A = this chain, B = another copy of it.
Amino acid sequence: MFKKVIIAEDLDAISLGIEQVLKDLDIVDFQHSKYCDDAFLKIRAAIQKNEPYDLLISDLSFKTNHREVKIANGDELVQKVRELQPDIKIIAYSVEDKNYRIKSLFDNAEIDAFVLKGLNSIEELKKAIHITSTSDQKFISPEVASALQEKNNFEIDDLDIQILKHLSSGTPQDEIIQIFKDLGIKPNSKSAMEKRLSKLKDFFKANNTVQLVFIAKDLGII
């Protein structure tokens, strides 16, 4: 079983619940951070002291305060932690239920488990801790297990997302093209833009750009 655990979770009500789980499992050496930055620093410090954590339980969405932060959300945190300490086990604990995002966590940050916050998620969290502590198996909440089977997420690449973000902030297509040209981003013609949009609309079954951006927002892609 894990000896030393760190929790990254901003909502105090929830971290209270998580701590209860750890106590139930007789894990007493745990820390708790309300900010991603803070969690990252603690993890790094622990490595330097040669007392590294062996489990990170992280939320994904964090409230954005006035304060300046380096790491804004859980996605970035787990990514950076994975790079910093490849052997740490990572459990994501979140309400996020969009296949697209969950899959990318497993693919990119190589998280070990994804527990969906829900009506009985405490039990699932316990199970995830058990499984990841005793083996290298992955765990994912049943409700969203389909996320991993999802064949090829039809490769929505980074550029697509950039385009969608620009659109969502009211930039007309022409201007986006200009921005790409200025930044030296390669496919930067009117046609390329239109082709990409048309592919996206096709994929998401959107009639027009308005609906496309709405769907993308709804899916948490932007």
Q: Which residues of A are interface residues toward B (Cβ below 8 A)?
A: 10-14, 16-18, 20, 34, 63, 95, 117-122, 167-172, 206-211, 213-214, 217-218
Q: A11-B118, A218-B217 are in contact. Are A210 and B18 (CB under 8 A)?
A: no
Listed residue (A18, A120, A213) with the most chain B CB atoms within 10 angstroms of its CB: A213
- What residues of chain B lie closer than 8 Å to A34, measured between beta carbons? 119
One complex includes copies of this chain to the number of 2
In the complex the two chains form, is B17's CB within 8 Å of A63's CB? no
Name the residue in A11, A13, A207 with the highest tally of chain B Cβ atoms < 10 Å from its Cβ: A13
Among B122, B167, B217, contact of A13 (Cβ-Cβ < 8 Å): B122
Which listed residue (B14, B168, B170) contacts A11, Cβ 8 A? B14
Contact B217 A10 (CB under 8 A): no
Known contacts A10-B119, A11-B118, A168-B214; can you find 7 more A-B pairs with CB under 8 A?
A12-B17, A12-B121, A13-B18, A168-B210, A171-B207, A172-B207, A217-B218
Question: Which residues in B have their C-beta under 8 angstroms from that of A13?
Answer: 13-14, 16-18, 117, 121-122
Chain B residues with CB below 8 A from A118, complex form: 10-12, 63
A11:B206 contact, CB within 8 angstroms: no
